[in-house]
Amino acid sequence: MRLNPTQTLEQIASMIDARYSGDPAFPITGINEIHKVEKGDLTFVDHPKYYAKALSSKATTIIINKEVDCPEGKALIFSDDPFRDYVYLTKQFRPFEPSAELISSSAYIGEGTTIQPGVFIGNHVKIGKNCLIHANVSIYDHSVIGDNVIIHSGTVIGADAFYFKRRPEYWDKMHSCGRAIVEDNVEIGACCTIDKGVSGDTIIGKGTKLDNHIQIGHDTVIGQNCLFAAHVGVAGCVNVEDDVILWGQVGVQKDLTIGKGAIILGQSGIAKSIPGGKTYFGSPVQEAKDKMRELAMLKKLPDLMKLI
C-alpha cells in the first residue's frame, strides 16, 4: 500500500507510541507485508526465524520486537507486539468505508461497460471499457478491473486475505489493505473468489480465463493467458507465470512459483515450485509420464506379491 503523502519515521513511531532508531525525518512511502516489500516500505517482524529476512529485505523501515543495531540505510521501530502495531497502522491509512449504495459514487465505470442488476461496486473501484458484470457480483473497495472483462454471477473480487496470527485464546486478524487487480480480456466464471492482497496486489493477468468455483488467495500473481478449470484452489503469495493450465480441482500451496507453460492435470496437489514447459500429475505433483508409469507398476503389485 502506497502512502500519500509520504510519512516520516517520527510520525509513524508517534502513532504507535514507540521508540525508534534512525533519522526522525526518514521517509516511509508505503506499508507492506514482507512478501511484497519495496524500497521505502515499512514492514514488521515478530519471530526470530524471520529477523534476518526482514532486516535484509527491500523494506527500509522495520517494526521489530528485539533490540538490534539498525542496518545502514534503514530505520527501526521497537515494539513489544509488531503485529498489533502494524495492523493498527494499516487501519489508520486504509480504514473500512461503509457503503450506502449498490454502486459507489466514488467508483469509475468505463464507456460501454454493462452492469447487470444486483451488482455491488464498492468505494474507489475502477472498471474499464466494454466489460460485462453479471448479476450479484460483488467488487470490493479499491479493486481495479481492466477493459473487455467478463465476470459471471456470484463472484467476489477483493475479499479480505485469509491471514491470522495465533494468540493464546483466539486468532488475531490481519487487516487487509491491498487490492485485487483484474487485467484486460480476463473472463471469470460464476462463484469465484479473488482475495485482495494483505498490503500489496493480487493480480489476474491479461487474457487469463477462470472457470466456475475457483479461489485465488491474497497477493497471488497469475500471469497472462492462463487457463484454470473448475474448483482450482490457489493459496496466497503464489506466482503463476504465463500460459499455465490448471485442470479441475488442482490445489496449490502458498509461497511457490509455477513456471511458464506448465500443465497440471486434474486433482493434483502442488506443494513446491515447479519448472515450466512440462505436464504434471499427482499429489505431490511429478512429471505426468513418471507418475503414470508409477501407477502402472502399482497395478502389477498384487500379482508380484503372489510370486513371493
Task: Identify the pLDDT of residue 20.
Answer: 96
Question: At a CB cut-off of 8 Å and minimum separation 6, what does 280 contact?
Answer: 262, 263, 264, 265, 268, 270, 274, 286, 287, 288, 291
Q: Are 65 and 54 in contact (CB under 8 A)?
A: no
For 14, phi and psi rounded to 5 degrees?
A: -70, -30
Average of per-residue pLDDT values in the chain: 95
**Distance of CA 253 to CAs 11, 14, 37, 209, 234, Å?**
38, 38, 21, 20, 7
Task: Identify the pLDDT of residue 305.
Answer: 73
Output Rg (C-alpha) for the chain, integer angstroms: 22
Question: 150: phi > 0 → left, psi -120 to 50 → alpha, else beta; which?
Answer: beta
Question: At a CB cut-off of 8 Å and minimum separation 6, what does 243 contact?
Answer: 223, 224, 225, 226, 260, 261
User: Residue ranges per domain, the chain?
Assistant: 2-93, 108-289
Q: Which three cell numbers stand for residue 155?
A: 463472484
Question: At a CB cut-off of 8 Å and minimum separation 6, what does 161 contact?
Answer: 174, 176, 178, 195, 196, 197, 198, 217, 218, 219, 236
**Distance of CA 132 to CAs 204, 234, 276, Å?**
17, 25, 32
Q: 3-class DSSP state for residue 270?
A: strand
* Alpha-carbon gap, residue 65 to 46, rounded angstroms: 6
Q: pLDDT tens digit string along 7-63?
A: 999 999 999 999 999 999 999 999 998 888 999 999 999 999 999 999 999 999 999
For residue 304, pLDDT over 80 is answered with no
- pLDDT band at residue 84 using 50, 70 and 90 as cut-offs: very high
Task: Identify the pLDDT of residue 35.
Answer: 83
Q: pLDDT tens digit string along 248-300?
A: 999 999 999 999 999 999 999 999 999 999 999 999 999 888 888 888 877 87
Average pLDDT over residues 231-253: 97
CATH topology of domain 2-93: 3.40.1390
Task: Identify the pLDDT of residue 247.
Answer: 98
Q: Minimal CA–CA distance to 14: which of 73, 74, 92?
A: 92
Task: Identify the pLDDT of residue 181.
Answer: 98
Task: Identify the pLDDT of residue 203.
Answer: 98
Catalytic residue among 134, 175, 218, 231: 218
* Alpha-carbon gap, residue 45 to 62, rounded angstroms: 7
For 108-289, the fitting CATH number among 2.160.10.10, 2.170.190.11, 1.10.150.120, 2.40.50.140 is: 2.160.10.10
Task: Identify the pLDDT of residue 297.
Answer: 78
Q: Is 175 among the residues known to form the active site? A: no
Task: Identify the pLDDT of residue 289.
Answer: 83
The H or E element that residue 298 is part of is helix 288-306
Q: Cell 524471520 appears where?
A: 50
Q: pLDDT tens digit string along 161-212?
A: 999 999 999 999 999 999 999 999 999 999 999 999 998 999 999 999 999 9
Q: Minimal CA–CA distance to 82: which of 112, 48, 107?
A: 48
